[in-house]
Amino acid sequence: MLVKIIYLLLLTAWAKEYDKAFDLLFTSNVKEFDEITVHFQKPLPTWLLNKKLIRIGAGCFGMGDRKFHHVFDGFGKMHIWNLKPNRTTFSAKFVRTRTFVDSEKRNTVSPLYTLFDDTVPRQSLIDRLRSLFNGPDNVNVNIVKFGDDYLAISDFWSKYVIDIDRGETLFRTSPDFLHRSIISRRIPLLSSSHPIQGVNIVTEINPFGLNYVHLVQIKSAREVVNLLSIPVDEAPYIHSFSLTSNYAIIVANPVSISISKLFETLNPSKSIIWRENGESDVYVVDLRTLQYRKYRTEGKFMLHHVNAFEYNDAIIFDTTTYKSFTLIHDYQLDTLRNSTVRNKITDLPSLKRYTIDLKSGIVKHKLLSNRRPYQGLEMPVINELYRFKSYCFIYGISFKSDNIQFSNVTLIKVDICGKGRDRIWELNGHIPSEPWFVHHPNRRAEDDGLLFSVISDGIRLRSYLAVFNATTLTLVNTSPTPTLVPMMFHGYHE
């Protein structure tokens, strides 16, 4: 009996510490830092020197008297570690977008630009109408290199060019590669936040005609080439896609943007429609001929495509999948900040493999892991040397790892080759963010390298950069950050 009581007390204490770590992620941090020296617990291996690590996410959840309702509206903030030979520097800067600068000036959330969801208190009807006219402007999802330019991007087409040495915002860019009319230009283009080697997907919504999914090659901040335009009935929301050496795989899940709903609600988050029992259209584009074929598969929502490769007459792609699109509500700040409500989130991701037989047209699918928490992997990353190739390892994080508490987040490595090399890192009250893999220069195996992750520590109420041995997933080094790091989504390293 005594053992049971002690166990229950321990469980309750651990739950509180995970919740504290989780709450830190959704707490605004307006402090900025410019290349200040930070220290690792142990010396870094020399092969890591001169590398840069950059993360971007939601750094501030409102301004003045107005708060955001949805985490996707958080003002974009960058965190940069520059591993110089004599010292490591750390910078933390907001992307100085037009909406951020205007919000700072007014000391309230700018009424000029489209938000993903409402503010609290809600902006006036006139302000919401006016903001739709100007379109979205915040960028907080990813940092990507195109040519010599580094761009902060989101799921919309407008981007900001960044100086990644110090996190300075240089200028806004939104190349008009479609040469649309003045009226059509007022409807923002959607764009995947996960371009691959300069290739990306752009969705064009047209209330007076066909919608299109464009496959584009982004050569630099201002230079974009439209490779192919695919007409579609519904305008799909596509967060990521797959690429192989010869094919692009664009999956239009049964989730789409309704322009009539947008005009009715003046709220993009309420304009996304999930078609229950709908299927997914799979467009396979041959990059050599720019011809495409359409296939069908089950109607899941695929948030993050992981990797894809060709195998004989088949294309294989791996992705995280959801039963529906409830995550749009699950990521509202009221839900994320309330442990009772967020613990009721049930639509957790499943890691799946889809195999498209190009001859028969049949698309088969299977789970890549049958075991929790590995099956629930999100924010997937791989050894980039294995992009477009058959591979074994996916790294990521798993929410609700204990199947009870949503804030119980673990760092995981899934061996999809099934050789039992799955690994997990969990530490009471410590929440990892999306990891990133840096391969060893003299690598002997796919997982020979280091894995980095920013950790939210609910016990000491701080954040730190953690370095893991990617083979064993053991913690080998840490560097405390001089400030709390809120919810980071994705990033870049070189």
| Binding annotation for Fe cation | 194, 239, 304, 490
The edge-to-edge listing of strands for the beta sheet with 255-257 is 235-236, 255-257, 272-274
Distance CA 263, CA 132 (A): 9
241 near 264, Cβ under 8 Å? Answer: no
DSSP state of 112: S
For residues 145 and 155, give the distance between their C-alpha atoms in angstroms, rounded to a whole number: 16
Do residues 395 and 412 lie in contact, with contact meaning Cβ atoms separated by under 8 Å? yes
Which residues in 196-266 belong to E strands, given as ranges?
Answer: 199-204, 211-218, 224-232, 235-236, 242-243, 247-252, 255-257
Cβ atoms of 446 and 391 closer than 8 Å:
yes
3-state helix, strand, coil in the chain (%, to 5): 15, 45, 40
Q: How far apart are CA 239 and CA 417, in angstroms?
A: 26
* Helix ranges restricted to H, 26-91: none
Residue 440's CB is within 10 A of a number of other CB atoms, namely 16
Burial of 76 (0-12, 13-18, 19+ CB in 10 A): buried
> What is the DSSP secondary-structure string of 342-367?
HTT-----EEEEEEEETTT--EEEEE
**Paired tokens of 286:** 């041959």
Distances (CA, A) of 194 to 108, 242, 329, 394: 31, 9, 22, 16
- The CB density around residue 345, as the number of other CB atoms within 10 Å, is 17
Question: Residue 42 has which token pair?
Answer: 């142990």
CA distance 438 to 383: 7
User: b/e per residue, 317-335, with b = 16+ CB within 10 A?
Assistant: bbbbbbebbeebebbbbeb
3-state SS of 408-465 is CCEEEEEECCCCCCCEEECECCEEECCCEEEECCCCCCCCCEEEEEEEEECCCCEEEE
H or E element, residue 427: none
* C-alpha 485 chain-centroid distance: 16
Burial of 469 per CB tally in 10 Å (0-12, 13-18, 19+)? middle
Max CA pair span of the chain = 74
